[in-house]
Structure 1
Amino acid sequence: MPTFPSNQIMSLTAEQSQHELGESYGPDLRLADLLTPELADLELSYGTAAGDPRLRAAIADRHGVRPDQVVVTVGGMHGIFLLSYLLADGGGQVVTTAPMFPMTRNIYASLGADVRVVPVTFDDGYRLTADAVRAQLTADTKLVSLTTPQNPSGVAVPLETLQEIVIAMNAVCPDAYLMIDETYRVASYGDDAVAETAVRLGPKVVSVASLSKCHGAAGLRIGWVISTDAELVDQLSTAKFSTVVSASPVSEALAVRVFEQEDQILGVRRSWLAENLLITQDWVSENSDVVEWVRPDAGALCVVRLKPPVDLDRFGKACRELGVRLADGDWFGDEPGVFRLGFGFLPAGELKAALDALREAVHAAH
């Protein structure tokens, strides 16, 4: 019987720790931020398979595509699942990276896909090269699955590198699709420029994202898939209808409100992330004798590594005693001693307190 592999990342959905450094997003929006009197008249009927036209138009506008090239999904993971089911079921070949978000990896495992892995490492700054991807491509490749900025590192893949990968795919596996998970794309720091979406790189490039991470609206469970391939969009709409019929019209209406306020929402969060990034950077610098990091390009997360000698069992015990929760690198397929640190969730003062507690745990392990 097909199963989904278990992963301890599920623990992040349990009770929040005193010093929460495991989360990968910023502060949550509140329902009161989005409610309007008009929403009281919303009919609780089925939505459409492709999604609310107003929501599809808002998403399309921000990606330079047409609304009919957008399919709204129940979170970004639903979009990844549908695309994988269509392209890689029954042993289809998938090229992807490690480390990577474990839920995405679990989808490929549950489908029995033939997964070919491109390793990206801490020592190389988690930088992906087109040559490394090209080396894993074969004529049987159906899907190349990449994330930018990456989870857990927050390191982005330059658009030029993605273009080189598209060229390589055209030569080796022209029928394959390149899926880019752009979940953290608009979570830039302060006045940093927002990276351009990859969906414009060609008809075989598909963008997946959601409102969960950058906008603080994970509870809406609204994501999307964007493709300029009309046949694929039709297949995705049919697959969505066949699994969940539609997303919640209530969530879709609230998502429209998020996009109506997006400039304000993201403006506040980019300042928040910029401040917390500097706090984290200073903390790493002050504790450089025992920890190191890879500075992220965007998003509310980064990767830290404990310097040897370190007793990981003592470190874990100290974290539990001090109420500190990190995301273990092992969840993502990373090396021992590496952890994802979420710096965007807590207010600055609470982040400093959490990092002080983390410092105590680190020193207890050395």
Structure 2
Amino acid sequence: MRIPEFKLERYFAKWEFHAPYLLCSSDLEGWRMGDLLALADDDARERWERLGLGYTESTGLPALREALAGLYPGVAADQVLTFAGAQDALFAALNVLLGPGDHAVVTWPGYQSLYEVARATGADVTLLRLREEDGWKVDLAEVERALRPETKALVVNFPHNPTGALPDADTWRGLFALAEARGVYVLSDEVYRLLEYDPRDTLPSAAELSPRGVSVGVMSKAFGLAGLRVGWLATRDAGLLARCAAFKDYTSLCNAAPSEVLALIALRARERVLARSQALLADNLTRLDDFFARRGELFSWVRPRAGSVAFPRWKGPGPVEAFCQSLVEREGVLLLPGGVYDFPGEHFRLGFGRTNLPEALARLERFCDTLPQR
């Protein structure tokens, strides 16, 4: 396999553990071990205390798969397969679904794995561009035009990274209708699901909507547990799930035993865990609304509808890469320029799931005050 360098991850490798203010992180503030263990029910506490550090079941701890299935009405525990993070799940699913001669349609801008892994399988890939002037909305007519007789997979990511876009219910179901009519799988990266600002906007998962729907999730985003490296995919297609399980034998094989139990604790206490996440995002988003209202001369702001990231556009002097470089060097605040997505324009990813956002935003404001007045 030949696959290009992962630009986003190389960018983070340079800055993530050196910049004190990560104003572009996609994950939420991580839970502390003691606070998470305090949420454990009696069964999970006993599992933790008697945990053996041997290999785990390759498909995932049965109790964990049962808890994950609870996120998807109509999906059973044996229709869920765990992985070492969502990246592992995406890698397996794309390699199982696609190969030479196949075609995939992938939303863009987006997480590089969604289209580069697809290309690395030998498949042809059409990027489905989302546009700022349309509010980052997906256009069903463009989707229909992009589909071909050899299309095997429609790869989507909603709530969307990096824009925070979310389709309305009719558009979402329209995507699946187009795919169903052509026998196309919908691989849905749903790692930001359950971070909708209005619960009424929460969309049915791909695994619920279609027998060819494949939902990918992770503990990193909505649950604030990136350090566990627990992801999963859910699908009612037993054959596809079996092929993904066999492919996984060549990647992570199985999850870390402590991570599985800690994920189980969080899932069983998900109402409290998600309430913490929602409160943090709501507070930070209010601060961002105020900031961008004051700084309209420097930034274009399409307010996200869900998730923990947004994709503003830099309108100030110089290219966005120079702006991001100067900001991190002078104020220690890291933003992610849109060039890591190979996306044209002057956009940058902004993440607002961390508790130190007020300090980071104050430093960004101070930096903006030093810019020459127009």
TM-score (norm 1): 0.92
* Gap runs ≥5 in structure 1: none
Could you tell me how far apart the structure 1 residues matched to 2:149 and 2:306 are?
34
Match of residue 328 from structure 1:
337
Match of residue 231 from structure 2:
223
Match of residue 280 from structure 2:
272
State the Cα distance separating 1:170 from its structure 2 match. 3.0
Match of residue 123 from structure 2:
113
Letter in 2 for 1:196: P
Could you tell me how far apart the structure 2 residues matched to 1:358 and 1:342 are?
18
Match of residue 73 from structure 1:
83
Contact 1:188/1:299, CA 8 A, preserved across alignment: yes
Could you tell me how far apart the structure 2 residues matched to 1:318 and 1:245 are?
42
State the Cα distance separating 1:32 from its structure 2 match. 2.0
Contact 1:154/1:301, CA 8 A, preserved across alignment: yes
Match of residue 124 from structure 1:
134
Match of residue 133 from structure 1:
143
Could you tell me how far apart the structure 2 residues matched to 1:89 and 1:82 are?
12
Change (3 A) 1:314 1:147: closer
Q: What pairs with 1:200-219 in structure 2 (closer than 5 Å)?
A: 200-219=208-227
Aligned length, in residue pairs? 363
Query: Which segment is superposed worse, 149-158 or 342-351?
Result: 342-351
Change (3 A) 1:164 1:189: closer
Q: What pairs with 1:1-366 in structure 2 (closer than 5 Å)?
A: 2-13=2-13, 14-35=16-37, 36=45, 38-64=47-73, 65-171=75-181, 173-174=182-183, 176-189=184-197, 194-307=202-315, 310-312=318-320, 314-319=322-327, 320-360=329-369, 363=371
Change (3 A) 1:309 1:4: closer
Change (3 A) 1:71 1:285: same
TM-score (norm 2): 0.90
Could you tell me how far apart the structure 1 residues matched to 2:270 and 2:85 are?
18
Match of residue 42 from structure 2:
none
Change (3 A) 1:311 1:56: closer
Could you tell me how far apart the structure 1 residues matched to 2:321 and 2:170 are?
42
Letter in 2 for 1:15: F
Letter in 2 for 1:343: F
Query: Which segment is superposed worse, 57-66 or 87-96?
Result: 87-96
Letter in 2 for 1:237: A
Could you tell me how far apart the structure 2 residues matched to 1:268 and 1:34 are?
12
Could you tell me how far apart the structure 2 residues matched to 1:74 and 1:241 are?
12
Root-mean-square deviation (CA, aligned residues, Å) is: 2.2
Could you tell me how far apart the structure 1 residues matched to 2:176 and 2:8 are?
34
Deviations 1:286-328 (A, max 9, x none): 0012211111111111111122654546524421222221011
State the Cα distance separating 1:351 from its structure 2 match. 4.0
Contact 1:91/1:111, CA 8 A, preserved across alignment: no
State the Cα distance separating 1:334 from its structure 2 match. 2.1
State the Cα distance separating 1:257 from its structure 2 match. 0.9
SS in 2 for 1:34: helix
Could you tell me how far apart the structure 2 residues matched to 1:157 and 1:194 are?
10
Could you tell me how far apart the structure 2 residues matched to 1:191 and 1:136 are?
31
Change (3 A) 1:330 1:77: same
Change (3 A) 1:34 1:295: same
Letter in 1 for 2:194: V
State the Cα distance separating 1:242 from its structure 2 match. 3.5
Could you tell me how far apart the structure 1 residues matched to 2:120 and 2:373 are?
37
Query: Which segment is superposed worse, 340-349 or 19-28?
Result: 340-349
Letter in 2 for 1:2: R
Change (3 A) 1:88 1:69: same
Letter in 2 for 1:18: P
Could you tell me how far apart the structure 1 residues matched to 2:69 and 2:62 are?
10
Contact 2:99/2:121, CA 8 A, preserved across alignment: yes
Change (3 A) 1:22 1:130: same
Letter in 2 for 1:108: A
Change (3 A) 1:195 1:164: closer
Query: Which segment is superposed worse, 317-326 or 125-134?
Result: 317-326
Could you tell me how far apart the structure 1 residues matched to 2:128 and 2:139 are?
9
Contact 1:98/1:333, CA 8 A, preserved across alignment: no
Letter in 2 for 1:54: A
